Amino acid sequence: MKKIVLFMLLPFFFKTLPVISTDVDFSLTDTQRYQLSQTAISPTTGLQIPKNPVLKTSVPVYKDADLKTPVKTLSPDDPLMIQSVEVNLLGLPVFHLADQTYMLADETLYYQDVVLDQMPLSGTYWTRKVDSIYDSPFVKGSKEVSQKPKDYTQVKVTAVATTHSGTYYQLDQYGWIEGHLISNQDTRMEKVQDVLTKKYQKADYGISVKQLETGQVAAINAEKVMYAASLAKLPVLYYTQEAINQGKISKDTKFKYISKVNDFYGAYDPSGSGSLPKKADNKEYTVADLMKKVAQQSDNVASNMLAYYVTDQFGPDFQNQIKTISGRTWDMKKRDVSPETINTVLEALYHQNGFVLDDLSKTDFDNKRISKNISDKVSHKIGDAYEYKHDAAIIYTQSPFIITIMTNKADYDDITDIADDIYEILK
């Protein structure tokens, strides 16, 4: 029947027609009529009601099908309830709306908010901070579901779909989530960064955390340079372990404790920490013993002996190797470095995987600072001087991470609190 009506109305397309207007009538030229026919639904296409239509822009609606008497304007947020599609006396397709008004059936004014593509998927992903999850890939009419996965945890994905709003993933036992809210990579470091920013953004803190498997980093003032104190012994341990690995020395190599080992540029004050005599005793000590004392007691003399004999008093080869792994030149007397730089040495020690890591996991300082409340293995090195208190550690969780916490005018419990918060996320 509609095709017959359309045939009878065809002559209208070859005469001047009244324009669709909210104010006055005027005529359409043949060119204007052609252009309008390109944007409106063609009556020959079947005149079907679009599925789940959504307005792209504000649209006038009319009291009559001939679109002469405007009654209101619909905005993109308004529901578009279409009762039928008709052809008016001008031969134009119009939508007859549920409230008995009419609008031009122009495809440039709306889109069909439907699932454009969907396919099965099987994989494990990580959530980010989940605000909303839906009962279907998001289209107009989708509803939020109450049960959500935990933020920054692993979930199983069973399907992926695309709508006009974006890409959505179906989470097993939950619903559909926006694509940017999940990742195929561990997202927990994002939560670490959020905690650091909210709780520990202080001028006297420098914190650097790195997840070793993913390479992801979280930090506060990571480039802040502070006096490193005994954290500067870490490069000595690394270089000594490297000399053992290269066969230049062995764990059983012995060095004599002479007075010169405490008297060169960069040597620590022998009266500081450690159990070796504060004055030279001319006795011999093995490399393994010296490394153990540095790692477990932060022994100043033991560090001086390794630096004197093994590093050649922080000679050119030492400087070149340490610069290669850390990206900077070290002044071993000033000892001013950043948490980020300390982390580079920790990472090198981790990959070196030498016996000193076990020594660093059984220190005289395990009941304080980073390792105090952590149940997993912790290889760490402390540093204290003046009002500076530091700790740097490799923490052997299922996905190991390194952390350097450098503080000024803080206490050991402050370091413990920071470490506990990060460990709770990454354990």
Domain that holds residue 170: 117-184
Count of the separate structural domains present in the chain: 3
* pLDDT value, residue 108: 93
Encode pLDDT of 326-384 as tens digits. Answer: 999 999 999 999 999 999 999 999 999 999 999 999 999 999 999 999 999 999 999 99
The Cβ of residue 100 has, within 10 Å, a number of other Cβ atoms equal to 9
What's the predicted TM-score (pTM) here?
A: 0.82
Looking up residue 121, the CATH number of its domain turns out to be: 2.30.30.170
**Band of pLDDT at residue 40, cut at 50, 70 and 90:** low
Do 104 and 135 reside in the same domain of the chain?
no
Q: How many CB atoms lie within 10 A of CB 263?
A: 12
* Higher-scoring residue by pLDDT: 40, 296: 296
Does 204 have pLDDT greater than 80? yes
- At residue 15, the pLDDT reads 37
**223 and 85 in one domain?**
no
For residues 97 and 131, state if they share a domain. no
Predicted confidence at residue 17, as pLDDT, reads 37
Backbone phi, psi, residue 409, to 5°: 65, 40
322: helix, strand or coil: helix
Is the same domain home to 361 and 217?
A: yes
Per-residue exposure over 202-234, b if at least 16 CB sit within 10 Å of its own CB, e if not: eeebbbbbbbbeeebbbbbbbebebbbbbbbbb
pLDDT beyond 70 at 195: yes
Q: For residue 246, is pLDDT > 80?
A: yes
Query: Is the pLDDT assigned to residue 44 strictly greater than 70?
Result: no
Question: Mean pLDDT for the chain?
Answer: 91
Stretch 140-146: mean pLDDT: 95
Q: What percent of the chain has pLDDT over 90?
A: 89
List of residues 6+ apart from 198 with CB closer than 8 A: none
Tokens of residue 120, six digits:
């099965």
pLDDT at 47: 76
- Please check whether residues 57 and 95 belong to one and the same domain: yes
Q: Are residues 270 and 391 in the same domain?
A: yes
The whole-number pLDDT of residue 1 equals: 37
DSSP 386: T
Asked whether residue 85 falls in the same domain as residue 213, the answer is no
The neighbour count for residue 279, using CB atoms within 10 Å, is: 11
Return the HEC string of 28-41.
ECHHHHHHHHHHEC
Helix (H) or strand (E) holding 74: strand 70-74
Closest CA to 113 of 168, 169, 58, 52: 52
> What helix, strand, coil percent values describe the chain, rounded to 5?
30, 25, 45
**Between helices 287-297 and 234-245, what is the axis angle to 10°?**
150
Identify the domain boundary among 184, 219, 234: 184
Q: 18 falls in which pLDDT band (50, 70, 90)?
A: very low
pLDDT at 42: 53
Residue whose structure tokens are 């004197």: 308
* Whether the Cβ atoms of residue 143 and residue 134 lie closer than 8 Å to each other: yes
User: Which segment of 16-30, 65-79, 276-290, 362-376 scores lowest on mean pLDDT?
Assistant: 16-30
Q: Region 214-226: what's the mean pLDDT?
A: 97
- Quote the CA–CA distance of 70 and 22 in Å, as a whole number: 5
Which of 80, 97, 112 is the endpoint of a domain? 112
Q: Are residues 352 and 296 in the same domain?
A: yes
Q: Tell me, what CATH number does 389's domain have?
A: 3.40.710.10
Q: Are residues 304 and 220 in the same domain?
A: yes
Residue 20 has pLDDT above 70, yes or no: no
288 and 229 within one domain: yes
- Under DSSP, the state recorded for 44 is G
- pLDDT at residue 123 tops 70: yes
Last residue of a domain, one of 128, 150, 184: 184
Question: Other C-beta atoms within 10 Å of 324: how many?
Answer: 10
Check whether residue 299 and residue 388 sit in a common domain.
yes
Q: And the tokens for 308?
A: 């004197």
> Are residues 87 and 10 in contact, defined by beta-carbon separation less than 8 angstroms?
no
Dist CA 209 CA 193 (whole Å)? 9
276-296 pLDDT, tens digit per residue, is: 999 999 999 999 999 999 999
Q: How far apart are alpha carbons 205 and 415 in whole angstroms? A: 10
Same domain, 174 and 209: no
